């Protein structure tokens, strides 16, 4: 098994990077859709239904598979000998960032359900502020891996 992980390391790394890019695109776009959803429509209107459809497809067709793929390929990278120095700090800061990113993903899924039930209480300004969360987490994760502090 170890030989296979080493042999496929470049492929695993490439697939991990592609998955992360797709996931991050969704994490940046969904809160922005929520901003427009809150500011441009009210519950039950035809435009509300269109926003709900866009949000559902983004989450289910792009973000969820990308998150799962990111985790799978990331765990395969962790299992590949020589990739992670467990005596350094960076694997733990990266791991914390990934857990926080996953929590944010699920938080967005719950906010989508608020729109479905008509119980959203967040404002466009609040969603704009939350739109910065994936950027901050990305900075922590990328610096952790590249600088390896």
pLDDT band at 1 (very low <50, low <70, confident <90, very high): confident
Q: Does the pLDDT of residue 149 top 90, yes or no?
A: no
pLDDT for 115 equals 96
Q: Of 13, 148, 9, whose CA–CA distance to 81 is shortest?
A: 9
Tens of pLDDT, residue by residue over 35-83, are 999 999 988 899 999 999 999 999 999 999 999 999 999 999 999 999 9
pLDDT band at 103 (very low <50, low <70, confident <90, very high): very high
Domain region containing 134: 2-147
Residue 94's pLDDT is 97
pTM, two decimals, is 0.94
Cβ burial of 96 (10 Å; 0-12, 13-18, 19+) is middle
Which positions ≥6 away from 130 have C-beta within 8 Å? 31
Which pLDDT score is estimated for 96?
A: 98
Please give the share of the chain, as a percent, with pLDDT higher than 90.
95
C-beta of residue 37 within 8 angstroms of C-beta of residue 55: yes
Number of structural domains in the chain? 1
| 104-132 mean pLDDT | 97
């Amino acid at each position: 098994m170890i030989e296979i992980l080493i042999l496929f390391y470049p492929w695993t790394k490439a697939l991990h990077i592609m998955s992360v890019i797709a996931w991050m695109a969704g994490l940046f776009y969904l809160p922005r859709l929520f901003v427009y959803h809150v500011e441009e429509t009210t519950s039950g209107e035809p435009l509300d239904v269109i926003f709900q459809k866009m949000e559902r497809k983004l989450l289910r067709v792009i973000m969820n598979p990308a998150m799962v793929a990111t985790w799978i390929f990331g765990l395969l990278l962790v299992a590949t000998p020589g990739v992670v120095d467990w005596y350094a700090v960076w694997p733990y800061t990266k791991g914390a960032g990934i857990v926080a990113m996953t929590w944010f993903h699920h938080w967005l899924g719950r906010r989508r359900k608020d729109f479905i039930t008509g119980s959203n209480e967040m404002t466009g300004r609040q969603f704009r502020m939350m739109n910065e969360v994936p950027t901050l987490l990305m900075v922590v994760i990328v610096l952790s891996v590249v600088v390896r502090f």
